[in-house]
Amino acid sequence: MSPEPAGRPSLALLARGLDDEPGAQRLAAELALPLATTGADPGACLEFDIVLIVQGPTLALQQTGRVAPGGRSRRDRGGRGSATGALPGPVSIDFGADGMRHRRRSGHNELLGKAVGVSARRRPRILDATAGLGRDSFVLADMGCEVILCEREPVIAAMLRQGLDAALASGDDWLLPSVRRMQLFAGDARTMSSPQSGAVDVIYLDPMFPSRDKSAAVKKEMALFQRLLDPDAAPGDAEALLHWALAQEVARIVVKRPVRASFLAEQKPSHSVAGKAVRFDVYVRRALG
Ligand SMILES: C[S@@+](CC[C@H](N)C(=O)[O-])C[C@H]1O[C@@H](n2cnc3c(N)ncnc32)[C@H](O)[C@@H]1O
């Protein structure tokens, strides 16, 4: 296997048990990633930085013991036995989780809905050009919007596919109507064919920015996510995405920003919808239908 480019963490598929091996092998081939030893303890899996764990139908991204917080591995520190307990928890996509149900009622959703133009009589069609873990997309779909989720990082896109499939298979009446409104496009939003992208009213952007959540657990989760994605983001990447979005035939573009951040690409929005920690900058091009 060729060496990883500098800065890019090394990743492998890890089958939790023997039954998970076929699924892990299939995904490893699809994502062009190596396989770690089946059943290995991620904490002791020191050949890789991050493992994508396949366990039954679920996928979870887990930091290994290779680089512990503070920069030294468990081995460097003389660690023994199972090291996973000392690591940040795994990241997976479960649209039916309590956290997602809680999100439904949070004030953040009202702001997001207002920013994209949801009203009692209107459910705009959204292109979420930076889908990530799909949380904002799910919130929008839960409000009744049709959402196309674009995710260019193949590992995250595979997790989204799995999360959507699991939700569709769940038979959960709360989840199904929302998840049926979500359609995944695994690739760079800018490469979508125009018939697909032309069928939307709003482009939504949530470019990566430093963790803003107060919960330590979420901070750790986002740190892993950022570690995976940061090396891919070229300087000016988010700015270029906004310029692309502004050139599309849509009614509005909405950009999520930390509440005190400057405008992305120094582009002044038509208006902003601000909460305590997050702000949505809205670029209105025409009235929503
Ligand atoms: C901060 S995360 C988005 C989090 C998301 N709003 C959520 O609720 O989970 C940004 C994501 O956008 C993706 N991304 C950035 N630029 C992209 C592009 N041009 N096309 C598709 N995905 C992109 C990154 O890979 C990353 O997963």
Residues 53 and 90 sit within 8 Å (Cβ to Cβ):
yes
Query: pTM of this prediction?
Result: 0.88
Tokens, residue 12: 């492998």
Ligand 1 atom nearest 237 alpha carbon: 16
* Tens digits of residue pLDDT in 175-232: 999 999 999 999 999 998 765 556 899 999 999 765 444 555 556 666 777 777 766 6
What's the CATH number for 98-284? 3.40.50.150
The predicted structure's pLDDT at residue 79: 45
Residues 103 and 139 sit within 8 Å (Cβ to Cβ):
yes
Task: Tell me if 184 CB under 6 Å of ligand 1.
Answer: no
Task: Tell me if 153 CB under 6 Å of ligand 1.
Answer: yes
The predicted structure's pLDDT at residue 16: 97
Whether 84 has a pLDDT exceeding 60, the answer reads no
Between 66 and 52, the more confident residue is 52
Tokens, residue 115: 């920013």
Task: Tell me if 239 CB under 6 Å of ligand 1.
Answer: no
- Site to probe by mutation for ligand 1, drawn from 92, 95, 104, 152 as the one with most ligand atoms within 8 Å of Cβ, is 152
Task: Give CA 57 to chain center in angstroms.
Answer: 19
Q: What is the CA radius of gyration of the chain?
A: 20
Geometric angle at alpha carbon 160, from 146 and 166, rounded to 5°: 90
Residue nearest (by alpha carbon) to ligand 1 atom 3: 132
Mean pLDDT of the chain: 85
Whether 32 has a pLDDT exceeding 50, the answer reads yes
- SS3 (DSSP) at 210: coil
Structural domain spans, the chain: 11-77, 98-284
The predicted structure's pLDDT at residue 283: 98
Distance of alpha carbon 201 from alpha carbon 118, whole angstroms? 11
Whether 162 has a pLDDT exceeding 90, the answer reads yes
Task: Tell me if 163 CB under 6 Å of ligand 1.
Answer: no
All residues at 6 or more sequence positions from 101 whose CB lies less than 8 Å from its CB, including other chains: 174
Task: Give CA 125 to chain center in angstroms.
Answer: 19
Residue nearest (by alpha carbon) to ligand 1 atom 23: 130
Residues 86 and 41 sit within 8 Å (Cβ to Cβ):
no
Per-residue pLDDT band for 233 (boundaries 50, 70, 90) equals low
